[in-house]
Structure 1
Amino acid sequence: MGAGGRMLAPPTPSKSESGSLKRVPHSKPPFTLSQIKKAIPPHCFQRSVLHSFSYVVYDFAITSICYYIATNYFHHLPQPLSYLAWPIYWIIQGCVLTGFWVIAHECGHHAFSDYQLLDDIVGLILHSFLLVPYFSWKYSHGRHHSNTGSLERDEVFVPKKKSSIPWYSKYLNNPLGRFVTLAITLTLGWPLYLTFNVSGRPYDRFASHYDPYGPIYTDRQRFQIYISDAGVLAVSYGLYRLAMVKGLMWVICTYGVPLLIVNGFLVLITFLQHTHASLPHYDSTEWDWLRGALATVDRDYGILNKIFHNITDTHVAHHLFSTMPHYHAMEATKAIKPILGDYYQFDDTPVYKAMWREAKECLYVEPDEGGQSKGVFWYNNKL
């Protein structure tokens, strides 16, 4: 297939008789990264300060309106209505703040503007507000993009081989066990990853996103890790002072619960982007950057796709060209589908069903029994 991708229509991802997506081809692709890039309109790689800031302003406006309504009117509502109003606020605010998080994530990829300093300032402010150490995560996430799909070097959601799964896994391989595991993962997974590197790449010593001298970072990056820690500490202190003035419950209701929802969405989105029975993982004998970058799947979150700035349904394009701004990612995705063919994966399974299915089917990875490619690993769940 040529770089121009002259097909009448993008191919529809093929499915097996069971309805699930067929496996992504694990052989070396018949195209190169430069051929994929040539298929994308050049303007998709242009980053506009005004365009990018318009999303910051829009998200900030929605967040401010929600906060204003909640703090000025909810206490006037009769109790039955207030019990309903607060959960609605939490959900809406949590979703919009997830969009804020995505913009900060783009800053870390230098996809916000042509100015690295501006990107870092905006990203530091937005991520610190959400208690995320900006530079710390920027660097570890960059290593994830450099090593996606590698069983030895990927940074997060690295699947375990069958020989490495913990002894208690068989006791959790049931509906109740999966429910408890998912509940803990969605509520505590993000802070546990940042603090203790839970679900992250194993290191030979303690690793934490808050530790400037940890194994995740180089000597040149340490000062910026201190800056990240200072940003999180500053916001934490501000929340403490607010709690002293407004009360702890006020902070929990207006900020804490929406932040919990943000954290849950981050884990869910990342989990579903890189966990699917059709996606391969590679050891050092098979891995290369392009095949690793293609070992991800786009998902459909409905209206949340737009609220999350399409990080959910354009993730394949994002892994190929991470400096591309999100507002061009849909156009780019449409352009690269004809080139990628079966290497492109899109799953429109409802998110709640996909979450449960992946938690059930994707327990560990192993090579196909009797297969020739011993360095290619696929998800399985037979304990």
Structure 2
Amino acid sequence: MVQYPPEARSLAALLARYRQPDDARGIFELVITAVPFSVIWALMLVGVVRGHGIGLLLAVPAAGLLVRLFMIQHDCGHGSFFRSRLANDWIGRAIGVVTLTPYDYWRRNHARHHASSGNLDHRGSGDIDTLTVSEFAARSRWRQILYRLYRHPIVMFGVGPTYLFILRHRLPIGMMRNGWQPWLSTMGTNVAIAVLAAGMIRLVGLGPFLLVHLPVMILAASIGVWLFYVQHQFENTSWSRDEDWSFHEAALYGSSHYHLPWILRWFTANIGVHHVHHLCSRIPCYRLPDVLRDHPELANVGRITLVQSLRCVPKALWDEKERRLISFRDAKIGLVARHTRTQSNGSVAGPGIRRLNS
């Protein structure tokens, strides 16, 4: 039997019944994440102090649990983890000290991302910077190189995440005109981080503290950016200009269903069900599997597997004509083909194609 893609707006209304948080479930999810993270962190510290470098291998599960804590913070930001807004906000702020993410500042920026995701005329709010083929071709050679560097995997998933969480989150960059709240959130988080770090350093020393927490933080940051990347930077995602953009269509078809093995689904708190999350962001992470169970037609919408997600990395430019993400190589081939057709019709190539081929 053929399964047709669901109509996004009516589906969003249908999914509203999954929005009600369960406080007991929320507390349970928080405890089974925060307690193991604290225990593993402490075991790593003991190993470092005693000179057992093998303890650093625990950085992998610790980073996974830190990612899960961030996803709980993310749900708190949407007001979906607990019933009480007060509980969501203060748990989110507390977790933000551990994830080095100022909660209120991040929440506001993330809300802008949800409101404009997939809109080519409103890029730049919590997104991975994405250029169209024509925009890239029109850039100077130097600015093309900078964009290529930004899109390089070492920068995107290595240097970039470390810079974002350790340095950029220390100041509310881009929020200067939004009043005192982003500054209060950021500076309050910075003070709490400083107090917590100073206490740990006084207790165990600077070297052991950095040797334990930095690898965990850097690995978790890279995983987090990878997840966000794959959730929107896949070949058949959806981008549109203002006049054609629809919130519900962009939410459902511009976000992937990142189908991961069950253990990775647990560590990432089901954030791979991202198309449903964007369509109805108030659904708690622990209820997203219920949506797929009750609405199996959603399972194949934007579905990519772990192996398939690796092919997303080269996709760096949006082809407005083909309506899909393509690689720099594909863009060059496509523009050369168009240039050849243009020359055969007696026209002259513009500077963009000449720069792209230089």
Q: TM-score, normalised to structure 2's length? A: 0.79
Structure 2 CA distance, aligned partners of 1:158 and 1:183?
16
The code of the aligned residue for 2:9 comes to L
Q: Deviations over 1:38-76 (max 9, x none)?
A: 2x493x322111110111111112112212322335555
Structure 2 CA distance, aligned partners of 1:55 and 1:94?
17
Q: Deviation of residue 307 (structure 1)?
A: 1.4
Q: 1:298 to 1:90 in 2, by over 3 A?
A: same
Structure 1 CA distance, aligned partners of 2:245 and 2:324?
11
Q: 1:73 to 1:223 in 2, by over 3 A?
A: closer
Q: 1:287 to 1:260 in 2, by over 3 A?
A: same
Percentage of identical aligned residues: 16
The 8 Å contact of residues 129 and 232 in structure 1, kept in 2 or not, is answered as no
Partner secondary structure for residue 280 of structure 1:
coil
Q: Which runs of 4+ in 1 moved over 6 A?
A: 169-174, 194-197
Q: Deviations over 1:248-268 (max 9, x none)?
A: 221112212111111111110
Task: Give the one of 279, 287, 309 matched to 1:354.
Answer: 309
Structure 1 CA distance, aligned partners of 2:325 and 2:293?
27
1:260 and 2:218 correspond: yes
The 8 Å contact of residues 65 and 267 in structure 2, kept in 1 or not, is answered as yes
1:363 and 2:323 correspond: no
The code of the aligned residue for 1:53 comes to I
Q: 1:213 to 1:268 in 2, by over 3 A?
A: closer
Q: 1:306 to 1:366 in 2, by over 3 A?
A: same
Q: Which residue of 1 aligns with 2:234?
A: 276
Structure of higher RCO (CA pairs closer than 8 Å, 6+ residues apart): 1
Q: Which residue of 1 aligns with 2:101?
A: 132
1:48 and 2:22 correspond: yes
The 8 Å contact of residues 297 and 316 in structure 1, kept in 2 or not, is answered as yes
Task: Give the one of 162, 176, 192 matched to 1:214.
Answer: 176
Cα RMSD after superposing both structures: 3.2
The 8 Å contact of residues 94 and 261 in structure 1, kept in 2 or not, is answered as yes
How is 1:141-220 mapped onto 2 (pairs within 5 angstroms)? 141-154=110-123, 155=125, 156-165=127-136, 167=141, 181-190=152-161, 192-193=163-164, 210-211=172-173, 214-215=176-177, 217=178, 219=179
Task: Give the one of 328, 345, 351 matched to 2:302.
Answer: 345
1:113 and 2:100 correspond: no
Q: TM-score, normalised to structure 1's length? A: 0.74
How is 1:75-114 mapped onto 2 (pairs within 5 angstroms)? 75-76=49-50, 82-86=52-56, 88-114=57-83
The 8 Å contact of residues 211 and 225 in structure 1, kept in 2 or not, is answered as no
Q: Deviation of residue 163 (structure 1)?
A: 3.5
The 8 Å contact of residues 281 and 378 in structure 1, kept in 2 or not, is answered as no
The 8 Å contact of residues 37 and 65 in structure 2, kept in 1 or not, is answered as yes
The 8 Å contact of residues 91 and 261 in structure 1, kept in 2 or not, is answered as yes
Q: Deviation of residue 161 (structure 1)?
A: 1.6
Q: Which residue of 2 aligns with 1:379?
A: 326
Structure 1 CA distance, aligned partners of 2:31 and 2:175?
36
The 8 Å contact of residues 118 and 239 in structure 2, kept in 1 or not, is answered as yes
The code of the aligned residue for 2:22 comes to S
Structure 1 CA distance, aligned partners of 2:116 and 2:16?
27
The code of the aligned residue for 1:33 comes to R
Partner secondary structure for residue 172 of structure 2:
coil
Q: Which runs of 5+ in 2 are unaligned?
A: 333-358
1 or 2, which has the higher helix percentage?
2
Q: Which runs of 5+ in 1 are unaligned?
A: 1-7, 14-28, 198-206, 370-375
Task: Give the one of 263, 268, 287 matched to 1:308.
Answer: 268
The code of the aligned residue for 1:182 comes to P
Q: 1:181 to 1:247 in 2, by over 3 A?
A: farther
Structure 2 CA distance, aligned partners of 1:291 and 1:240?
47
The code of the aligned residue for 2:32 comes to Y
Q: Deviation of residue 134 (structure 1)?
A: 0.5
1:322 and 2:281 correspond: yes
